[in-house]
Amino acid sequence: MKKMKHKEFMSSNKLDNSAFSEAVQKKVRIFDKMHSKLEDMVDEDRIELLDQLKELDHELHEDMLNELEDQLENNEVIEEQEKKPEPKPEKKKEEPKPAYTKGDAIEITGGNPKYVGVIAEVIEYHSASGKDKESVTVKSNELPDGKSLLGVGMVKPTSKKPKSVQAIKKESKDEEILEELWKNRKTKGLGRSFLKEKGVKTNITGWTIQIGNFVLNRAAIFSYKYNLEKLKM
């Protein structure tokens, strides 16, 4: 007997006798015992035993199907679910990070020459939208409050802090003194002590010092002598 349905069923579903009821297990044992005698049978006895085995095999197969019907259906559903690929989570579109955020310090690099080099604090950042360009709204003691600078190319981040009101007042006073010297054509070889005597409060050191619209350029190596130049507006 080559094909035995109930044996194939058990093999394909990886089942043993313990998976079935005692009644079915008893039938399996009877089938096995009858099948073991097949080799000893000949002629009509063998044919009769084969018919009995085929009938019992068919009966066993039906019994097994009936007992495990619910379990097998559940397994099929589970297998189908396992085969289905899990949907990939949709990638969230990352919002573009603003170039500047509130509180950032920036240096103005373009626009009105009067404001170039001024350090300001960002109070708003406006990203590009449609035909509008990016812009920042800044606050500084050197600028009218809330002045809007169009185009981020006109500013750059800096670690420097905006000047205080006191520093602006000091620079404004110093600029008035330099304006007076300029009008009187006193622009060459200005010594540090001379400038302090005139009331200049800015720390006079280094090679180039900008005070408002004026620049002091050091003219000597071994002494603090400066030439005064006025920036073109």
User: What's this model's pTM, rounded to 2 decimal places?
Assistant: 0.36
Kindly state whether residues 222 and 196 are assigned to the same domain.
Answer: yes
C-alpha dihedral over 177, 183, 188, 194, to 10 degrees? -30
151 pLDDT band (50/70/90 cuts)?
low
Task: Check whether 71 has a pLDDT greater than 70.
Answer: no
Q: Residue 204's CB: how many other CB atoms inside 10 A?
A: 20
Q: How many domains does the chain have?
A: 3
Q: What is the pLDDT of residue 191?
A: 93
**193 vs 117 pLDDT, higher one:** 193
**49 vs 96 pLDDT, higher one:** 49
* Residue 28 within any structural domain of the chain: yes
Domain range enclosing 209: 165-230
Kindly state whether residues 13 and 67 are assigned to the same domain.
Answer: yes
Kindly state whether residues 176 and 197 are assigned to the same domain.
Answer: yes
Task: Check whether 78 has a pLDDT greater than 60.
Answer: no
* Residue 91 within any structural domain of the chain: no
* Residue 77 within any structural domain of the chain: yes
Instruction: Reduce the DSSP state of residue 230 to 3 states and report it.
Output: strand
pLDDT above 90: percentage of residues in the chain: 16
CB neighbours of 66 closer than 8 A, spacing ≥ 6? none
C-alpha to C-alpha distance for 34 and 178, rounded to whole angstroms: 124
Residue range 13-36, pLDDT digits in tens: 888 888 888 888 898 888 888 888
